[in-house]
Amino acid sequence: MEDIIFGKNSVMEALISGDREINKILISKNIHGDSKLNKIKELARENGIVFQFVAKEKFIPYAQYNHQGIIAQISPVQYKDLDEFLKETKGENLSVVILDGIEDSHNLGAIIRTCVCAGVEGIIIPSRRNVQVNAVVEKTSAGAINHIPIIKVNSLVNAVQKLKNSDWWVVAADAGAEDNYYDINYKDMNFALIMGAEHAGVSKSLLKLSDFKVKIPMLRNFNSLNVSNALSAIIFETVRQKLQK
Amino acid sequence: MEDIIFGKNSVMEALISGDREINKILISKNIHGDSKLNKIKELARENGIVFQFVAKEKFIPYAQYNHQGIIAQISPVQYKDLDEFLKETKGENLSVVILDGIEDSHNLGAIIRTCVCAGVEGIIIPSRRNVQVNAVVEKTSAGAINHIPIIKVNSLVNAVQKLKNSDWWVVAADAGAEDNYYDINYKDMNFALIMGAEHAGVSKSLLKLSDFKVKIPMLRNFNSLNVSNALSAIIFETVRQKLQK
């Protein structure tokens, strides 16, 4: 089974990370060369990966994907096992993000990008009632998917328990919380941040397990931040706390 | 000329704001009633706006829009004039966001939502080389478009000059900046935050006019935050500074 990934960033980042087996890269004869394309060809040559220039008609089946005239056939993303992740991930001031019921592929892609930029160690998703990694997620993540483990679990409750048993603290984003997200000191702990579904929020069973519940203050009577934007506000606050003198 | 808006949030927020003339609301006979739908019917009745229950086939032409079985015919968004905006907008600690070449409708919609939640006073877009408000923007904004003026200008350079002449400070997001975004004190000024195109960043002519250039520190060797997520990190830092004791 192979996946197809689309666009210059996706293909380039897959080449850079080297974690996934790339079978073949197809490039439209009609696209203009640029520095990204040159880099892709260079990396492909270095790694002995075939690339072919093909007629633009080859891309018609992928018209919905904003492919920019370049696709690659690649082995699927390997989900990581939580136990394995916890065994390998040792250190201080680490973070993971837990997604509880995110349904939109664009949101998952944007969240993956944001997590990589913010140095998050891994993203935990449940195997049901959450979007899985698909072609739109890969494309929206702009290749970031190749730089962070996605950990799939059968039960988020069990996963949170395991994290707590391994001395991770658990922070849940909850519109009804008393504390604002910036009232918490994220500096001296490993923490997991739980973000909930766009409408329903974080499940009650997970809220109950959380050590902290935090909200983002809303300055207008309009309480509906997109989940990837909410995550960005919170996670970069944790980065600020870690970096600011 | 009328626009069509899609989805429960879009229709509800248009009704709440009352700024735009709604000609008619069409509701699919097949959708389940819920509190949002009840609220929509109640607001429509109060304001003498017609709503009709129609067969789901009526929605086939709008299949691409994730309409949730409800659409409204509505007057188009009225763009605001910058001079008018500046005359009306007086106060301290105000902010506006300037978008320089944002091409993606989903990004513009998400940015509008984030700006409304963060209490931004207005969004300035150029009349060329930037996505304009369209059906996807309206939908992605989840109705937020009805709670913030969109100011369209022919020249961003002139607009920035006008803001500076009116004692607004200008902050540009720039990956090459020395200062991190949280190193600036946003508390005692009115400021305009310029966000650039996904790839090209903020134009040189605008960077030159900016009082501050700020970057978001990246914790991995992957520098490609989605523009709406970058905006969210920065704008909620300004909110934190204003609110935190």
User: Is the same domain home to A62 and A95?
Assistant: no
Residue at which a domain ends, from B17, B41, B74: B74
Number of neighbours of residue B1 by Cβ within 10 angstroms: 4
Helix orientation angle between A105-117 and B227-243, rounded to the nearest 10 degrees: 70
Domain that holds residue B36: 3-74
Task: Pick the more confident residue, B122 or A139.
Answer: B122
How much is the pLDDT for B88?
94
User: Is the same domain home to B101 and B61?
Assistant: no
How much is the pLDDT for A1?
58
How much is the pLDDT for A195?
98
- On the question of pLDDT at A20 being above 90, the answer is no
User: Is the same domain home to B122 and B50?
Assistant: no
How much is the pLDDT for B206?
97
A245: which chain B residues are within 8 Å (Cβ-Cβ)?
none
Q: How many domains does chain B have?
A: 2
**Domain harbouring A141, CATH code:** 3.40.1280.10
Residues of chain B with pLDDT > 70, as a percent, come to 100
User: Is the same domain home to A102 and A218?
Assistant: yes
ipTM: 0.88
User: Is the same domain home to B217 and B180?
Assistant: yes
Interface test with A, best of B9, B148, B226 (most A CBs within 10 A): B226
- On the question of pLDDT at A159 being above 90, the answer is yes
Residues 6+ apart with CB under 8 A from A130: A99, A100, A101, A102, A103
Amino acid found at B233: A
Q: What is the mean pLDDT of residues A187-202?
A: 92
Establish if B20 touches chain A: CB-CB under 8 angstroms: no
Q: Which of A145-149, B65-69, B168-172 has the highest mean pLDDT?
A: B168-172
- On the question of pLDDT at B70 being above 90, the answer is yes
Establish if B243 touches chain A: CB-CB under 8 angstroms: yes
Establish if A239 touches chain B: CB-CB under 8 angstroms: yes
Residue at which a domain ends, from B74, B98, B120: B74
**Domain harbouring B58, CATH code:** 3.30.1330.30
Q: Check A226 against B113: CB less than 8 A apart.
A: yes
User: Is the same domain home to B92 and B207?
Assistant: yes
Task: Pick the more confident residue, B181 or B13.
Answer: B181
How much is the pLDDT for A66?
80
Report the distance separating Cα A160 and Cα A191, nearest Å.
Answer: 11
Task: Pick the more confident residue, A193 or A141.
Answer: A193
Would you state the structure tokens that stand for residue A94, as one six-digit string?
């680490």
Residues of chain B with pLDDT > 90, as a percent, come to 69
What is the phi/psi pair of residue A141, to 5°?
-75, -5
- Render pLDDT for B36-60 as a digit per residue (tens, 0 to 9): 999 999 999 999 999 999 998 889 8
B237: which chain A residues are within 8 Å (Cβ-Cβ)?
236-237, 240
- On the question of pLDDT at B1 being above 70, the answer is no
Residue at which a domain ends, from A58, A74, A90: A74
Name the 3-class secondary structure at B53. strand
